[in-house]
Structure 1
Amino acid sequence: MKTYIYSTLLWSATLFSSCSSDDKTSVQNTDSPILVQLSKSSTNSSGASATVSGKLVARNSVNVSTKMMGYITSMKAEVGQNVTAGQALVHINSTDIQAKGGQANAQILQAQANFNSAKKDYERFQNLYKNQSASQKELDDMRARYEIALAGLQAAQQMKNEVNSQYKYTNITAPISGTITAKFAEQGDMASPGSPLLTIESSGALQAQVLVSEENITLIHQGMQVLVTLKSINKTISGMVSEISKSAANTGGQYLVKINIAASRDLLPGMFVNVQFPFKNSGKKNQDFQEMIIIPKSALVEKGQLTGVYVVSSQNTAVLRWIKIGKILGDQAEVISGLNSKEPYIVSANGKLYNGAKIQIK
């Protein structure tokens, strides 16, 4: 019995000693500094910049419509379908046009008969007048009748031409080659003059369209190189300003700017973009712009809806600083507030950082 009690006490003492050793080791690991690497936030060395949002659009976009009212009897078009210029897409009931065409043909026959009769009478009276068998007045009357008949025939022919021109609006073809991006009517619907039926956008050539404030528009010029970021596909490409609107009357006080970009299979019309306009530093402080502070996204710490970055305190410890993030530019992020442009921050660490953790700079 005593032997059992002594064995139990010996096992307990050994376990307690082991636990105490582990605790001491843990405290020692906690107190040891974490090796970290620092970096300073970069700024736009060329001066200030402005970033605005917009979307991609096709350079050539056409709304297909008709000048005739009638029921759509055939619709050979679907969204996403590729079409070529001249391809038949929509047919509209042409019964009314056919009736007008029949009337025009009848009027031409009638006018032609009147013209032929007037022409023969006029030629006959010319011979009679030469033989002094008809007076000048009779000849003038025949000439007037002939000219009236000729005018009537020409008017009937022009009416026929008008009817023929209306036929092409009942058989609608693709005006350009491209992709159908929108469809506003279906077979059996009533087509109205001027109302769009389809939208066709040419493939390949795209533009980024953005609205720029009046404070920035004077610093933008044609041919200016800009950065276009597409957050949906995490891609940043270069672009060039091609058009600048000189009026903001119809755009709510902002100016429309168009940027040409290179064609790519990844880019589709309608994608949202962020366009960064760089402004060269003129040597004077511009109150409208602030230097853009940029840090790598890998240095950010996200907790819920908060975003922060670890900085170094005067006691050489890590401190989590909450910051406000602006635009995301590829693998970098713009810092709006919370971090000074000359203040170092922790980029990487050999251990898990937390508030108050002792650090050692590499």
Structure 2
Amino acid sequence: MAQTVIRVTLKGSLASQPLFCFTVRQLPIKQEADHVVRFKPFLFVMICCAWMLLGCGAPTGNEAHLESDPRAFSVETVTKRSIPRVYETPGTFVSDDRIQVASRLAAFIRSVDVREGQVVKRGDTLFRLDAADVEGAVRQAEAAAAQARSVFEDANADVGRFERLYETDSVAQTELRQVQLARDVARDKLRQAEAGVTTARSQRRYTTVTSPVSGVVIARHKQSGDLASPGQPIITLESQKAVLFDTYVAESVIRFINVGDLVELHVDALNDLAVTGEVLRIVPSGDVVTRRFQVKIAPGDEAGLLPGMFGRAAFRIGEDEALVLPNAAIALRGGLDGVFVVDTETRARFRMVRKGRQWQNRSEVIAGLQADETVILNPDASLRDGDRVIPKNDTHISDEAEDE
């Protein structure tokens, strides 16, 4: 029985060796017909596997390189530019008018008429005190004033009588002077008593305490029935019209910050709102533990800013020379940030970069690029390393980076 060896060789990375081979035996006509029917599916499967192996193989230098036609991309040449050196520090928006309302009297609190979060206007009643002691002091002062007035009137009448007697030489001059002196003492005591009445009556207005400013109640320290003591706060108010940004800066940068400097504030609670503020006050005494100095910034009349909001202040403390890359040139490949650099053969070469400071449209490049290299703008997902490109609109980075 004769045998025939069949070798299947496909042109590819393994062109010098057959991909597979098999032997066909010559059988009688009847058996041959049966085996031909069985052999055809097997042959089809083997040819398909051969084509799959050919597709996975890498082309050799002797094979023709298949690539797509070059596409046109906008490019830009990166250069070194002066960019602002920014010092960023967190802080909190606070009210510049924070008032702790206390009582001048020692008395029981009859009622507290406000709650936390309530908006009050100037002159609104905050709390009331028991006025029994104040009214008793007023009546006592008025009684003392009435008594002093009677003594003064009697002493004044005595002076009139003694003056008439002195004119007729009925009394000595010494007696007249004693009577006049007693009248003067009674007059002084009357004035003292009247001043006591005024002081006692003035305490009445402190039994009903009103708001000194328009603002919001942020704390209520006492309740009805508590004893109010002089100097102890009962209500804390904040004015929302005078809001400042309070932050602390390191001792190494405090010399670069001056009153009147413009500062960019970012408010996370308002969708990262950017607000331009002005340095209002710098406390020239640092904390002995943190070595930081307090700086207060006026954010202007920006709606929505409330005391207690978190923010970040960006101080411009100088300039640096650095490479600035447009964000449109950054491509994400394999989870890594990089750019496509156009080489001397007008091929796109992917290169990973490390970014530094960022602005709205541009980023600082710390590593991965050199000056005067050309990068592709807006690379699409189909662009691969080694593709040919046609550069167009080659421009240098403008001074926009400096303005940002």
**Aligned: 1:271 with 2:301:** no
Partner SS, residue 163 of structure 1: helix
C-alpha displacement of 1:235: 0.8
Equivalents in 2 of 1:319, 1:46: separation in Å? Answer: 23
**Aligned: 1:48 with 2:85:** yes
Distance change >3 Å, CA 168–CA 308, structure 1 → 2? farther
Q: Deviations over 1:204-233 (max 9, x none)?
A: 332112222222222212221110111222
Q: Deviations over 1:209-262 (max 9, x none)?
A: 222222222221222111011122211111111222222268953222221112
**Aligned: 1:350 with 2:368:** no
**Aligned: 1:245 with 2:283:** yes
Give the gaps of 5 or more residues in structure 1: 25-30, 282-289
Q: TM-score, normalised by structure 1?
A: 0.73
Q: Which moved more, 1:225-234 or 1:74-83?
A: 74-83
**Corresponding residue pairs, total:** 338
**Aligned: 1:153 with 2:190:** yes
Distance change >3 Å, CA 89–CA 322, structure 1 → 2? same
Distance change >3 Å, CA 310–CA 36, structure 1 → 2? farther
Equivalent residue in structure 1 for 2:129, among 87, 92, 99: 92
Tell me the residue number matched to 2:168.
131
Partner SS, residue 133 of structure 1: coil
Give the gaps of 5 or more residues in structure 2: 1-33, 57-66, 392-404
Q: Is the 8 A contact 1:46 1:278 kept in 2?
A: no
Equivalent residue in structure 2 for 1:78, among 107, 112, 115: 115
Equivalents in 1 of 2:79, 2:235: separation in Å? Answer: 48
| Same amino acid, percent of matched pairs | 24
Distance change >3 Å, CA 340–CA 320, structure 1 → 2? closer
Pairing of 1:1-362 with structure 2 (within 5 A) = 9=41, 45=82, 47-233=84-270, 234-248=272-286, 253-281=291-319, 309-310=337-338, 350-351=380-381
Partner SS, residue 279 of structure 1: strand
Tell me the residue number matched to 2:6.
none
Equivalents in 1 of 2:80, 2:269: separation in Å? Answer: 25
Partner SS, residue 179 of structure 1: strand
C-alpha displacement of 1:268: 0.8
Supply the AA of the counterpart residue of 1:118.
A
Q: Is the 8 A contact 2:267 2:274 kept in 1?
A: yes
Equivalents in 2 of 1:20, 1:208: separation in Å? Answer: 67
Tell me the residue number matched to 2:19.
none
Equivalents in 2 of 1:43, 1:92: separation in Å? Answer: 71
Equivalents in 1 of 2:130, 2:78: separation in Å? Answer: 68
Q: Superposition RMSD on alpha carbons, in Å?
A: 4.5
Distance change >3 Å, CA 45–CA 194, structure 1 → 2? farther
Equivalents in 2 of 1:185, 1:42: separation in Å? Answer: 65
Partner SS, residue 126 of structure 2: strand
Equivalents in 2 of 1:196, 1:345: separation in Å? Answer: 65
Higher relative contact order (CA 8 A, sep 6+): 1
Q: Is the 8 A contact 1:227 1:276 kept in 2?
A: yes
Q: Which moved more, 1:58-67 or 1:249-258?
A: 249-258
Partner SS, residue 195 of structure 2: helix
C-alpha displacement of 1:178: 2.1
C-alpha displacement of 1:352: 9.0
Q: Is the 8 A contact 1:34 1:360 kept in 2?
A: yes
Distance change >3 Å, CA 332–CA 248, structure 1 → 2? farther
Distance change >3 Å, CA 334–CA 56, structure 1 → 2? farther
Q: Is the 8 A contact 1:309 1:346 kept in 2?
A: no
